[in-house]
């Protein structure tokens, strides 16, 4: 009598079932670990604000701009277990969708539950502007109210306990930042993360 191999399909099914159970168990364990970590850390969104903006040394001749844009970038870290490392920070200023100034801010570390105010001086040196942009900027400066867009790009890492994350890119847009000619008028502008 020829031998039949009817035992192979049940063995294959039980092997597949075992693999599926192992994979499902791993997924559940990873999910529980992530949930427990989140419940312990309770991460909160960082809050950024532009404060005390001003324009100094303003000159616009033949559509070429020379000016210093000054402001404070206020960073609030509400987290109780997370500190943030800002390894590089680039700031650019735009008017009517044209970049008019660019600079960097020194790297720093922001501890937990901390407010840090970084002074930013962004300089435009002999920058050629489009004729309509130059005309609008001159008009707004003469009126005493200039609306600017501030863009921030930073390479950051977060630290929880002894663990540090890899670098990630933080992008902020603060718009509109209104600069008044009168030094008595300041308008803070909260930034959006994009």
pLDDT tens profile 110-153? 999 999 999 999 999 999 999 999 999 999 999 989 999 999 99
Domain locations in the chain? 9-41, 47-193
Say if residues 90 and 106 touch (Cβ distance below 8 Å): no
- What is the pTM assigned to this prediction? 0.80
Q: What is the pLDDT of residue 111?
A: 95
Q: What is the model's pLDDT at position 10?
A: 75
* pLDDT at res. 3: 53
* Alpha-helical regions (H) of 42-80: none
Closest CA to 105 of 65, 69, 77: 69
Residues 73, 127 contacting (CB under 8 angstroms) = no
SS3 101: strand
Average model confidence (pLDDT) across the chain: 89
47-193 is classed CATH 2.60.40: yes
DSSP letter at 61?
A: E
Tell me, what's the pLDDT at 156?
A: 96
The pLDDT score that the predictor gives to residue 21 is 93
Q: In the prediction, which pLDDT does 12 show?
A: 81
pLDDT at 41 (0 to 100): 67
Confidence of residue 183 (pLDDT cuts 50, 70, 90): low
State the pLDDT at residue 36.
Answer: 75
């Amino acid at each position: 009598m020829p031998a039949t191999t009817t035992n192979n399909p049940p063995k294959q099914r039980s092997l597949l079932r075992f693999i599926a159970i192992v994979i499902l168990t791993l997924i559940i364990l990873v999910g529980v670990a992530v949930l427990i970590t989140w419940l312990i850390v309770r991460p909160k969104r960082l809050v950024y604000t532009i404060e005390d903006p001003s324009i100094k040394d303003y000159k616009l001749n033949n559509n070429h701009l020379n000016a210093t844009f000054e402001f404070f970038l206020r960073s609030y870290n509400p987290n109780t277990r997370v500190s943030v490392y800002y390894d590089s920070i680039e700031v650019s200023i735009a008017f009517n969708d044209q970049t008019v100034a660019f600079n960097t801010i020194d790297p720093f570390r922001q501890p937990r539950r901390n407010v840090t105010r970084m002074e930013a001086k962004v300089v435009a040196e002999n920058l050629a502007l489009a004729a309509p942009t130059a005309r609008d900027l001159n008009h707004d400066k003469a009126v005493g109210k200039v609306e600017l867009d501030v863009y921030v790009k930073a390479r950051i890492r977060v630290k929880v306990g002894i663990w540090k994350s890899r670098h990630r890119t933080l992008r902020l847009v603060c718009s509109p930042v209104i600069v008044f000619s009168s030094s008595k008028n300041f308008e803070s502008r909260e930034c959006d993360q994009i």
